[in-house]
Amino acid sequence: MAILVLFGSMTIFLALSLPIGIALGMSTAIALVYTNSIPLIMIAQNAFAALDSFPLLAIPFFMLAGSLMSYGGISKRLVCLAEAMVGAVQGGLAMVTVTACMFFAAISGSGPATVSAIGSFMIPAMNEKKYDHDFAAALTAAAGSIGVIIPPSIPFVIYGVVSGVSVGELFIAGIIPGIIIGFSLMALSSRVAKKRGYPISHNRMPVSQALREALWALLVPVIILGGIYCGIFTPTEAAVCASVYAIIIGKFVYKELDFKTTYDAFKDAVLVNGATTFMIGLSMSFAAFLTMEQIPAKICSWMLSLSSSPVVILLIINIFLLIVGCFVDNISSMIILTPILLPITNQIGIDPVHFGLVMTVALATGFVTPPYGANLFVASAVSGVNMVDLSKAIVPMIIVMVLCLCLFTYVPQISMALVWLLR
């Protein structure tokens, strides 16, 4: 009965459009009152204890780094480099958008941040070249989801903290799948461009010049990932280094960070991080109540009673995650569902790093699935395309992402090859 009260009240609160953090906190409080065995102070205690975590500090600093790079001209140079590399074919601007999102994904770790940074340049550019407005916005929203798959990735940090899995190994596991999703979206873009007659971009910078101007921007993922994998610093320390590097490059090299833009970058990062931290804390309290009531163990037993086949179990889990992603935020879903689903995949012999990748890709698809698609909201705000048209235009991209998810789920060598090589 506790399960019904907990999830029933949460569903009602979400249907009433309450913020996800408040919905999680209130549903936990109602369930505690109903069970009458655990004091309400548990919510505050678990929220504060969960946030008192060194690995979680990586999240605000990666957010700050992404914001500083957007304001400091780094994202602009990445767009120019992408255009110089792939803009020479029909529909090249669409491919530039995907490529630029892949570059920025290796810096920001956030899907909505990637959509905002790249979309503010590329959506108007595509519209100017007579691309359909809904297609331009939908493609940017879908490509932005790569931001949480190619490392560094905020959901990978969350999964690592909750599950105890190495964040560094999760980062390694995301490299090849992120690239595959990017190339898949580029292939779709090329097909759509030829069908609709989108033009070729002619005003491109030479590759050598674009590479020279973007060199300082391209060093960011080298510093972050190289430092982590060489054992020089932790993911949290890497996020701090990325923030400091972004300030130095934006201020002294690209000279686009003055007092006002630096203030705006910090303000954006603080506002997003405030909402995210509030949500993470109450999500942890929600997850703690699940564990106290042994809800994950009960769900695990029920699911394993349906089938003992890993193929069937993974299919059920993926369908479940895709549905959850339509309604619940990526970070909250990761915190709540990891303690429930990880024991199930452990029982059927799935590597927890592989499952972390699968879970992240499935929930990343939720960034672009209505009604609760964070990337859709950002793309709609940047482009001015209404949510109904955007939701229709993004269906082909969702299909591509789901097909990629199935590939990563049932061919673990794709994500795990580099991990096994470096273990």
Q: Note the pLDDT tens digit of each residue in 10-42.
A: 888 877 877 777 888 898 888 888 877 778 888
Cis peptide bond upstream of 371, omega within 30: yes
Instruction: Tell me what pLDDT residue 315 has.
Output: 92
Contact predicate 65/243, CB 8 Å: yes
Instruction: Tell me what pLDDT residue 303 has.
Output: 76
Q: Which residues of the chain have pLDDT under 50?
A: none
Phi, psi of 327 (to 5 degrees): -125, -25
Instruction: Tell me what pLDDT residue 372 has.
Output: 67
- Strand partners for 200: 90
Instruction: Tell me what pLDDT residue 230 has.
Output: 79
Q: Which residue has the tokens 């394993």?
A: 304
Instruction: Tell me what pLDDT residue 159 has.
Output: 92
Domain boundaries in the chain?
Answer: 38-422
**Positive or negative torsion for Cα 395, 318, 282, 178:** negative
Instruction: Tell me what pLDDT residue 412 has.
Output: 93
Rg (CA), the chain: 21
Burial of 205: CB neighbours in 10 Å, binned 0-12, 13-18, 19+: middle
Contact predicate 361/325, CB 8 Å: no
Instruction: Tell me what pLDDT residue 413 has.
Output: 94
Burial of 255: CB neighbours in 10 Å, binned 0-12, 13-18, 19+: exposed
Contact predicate 28/286, CB 8 Å: yes
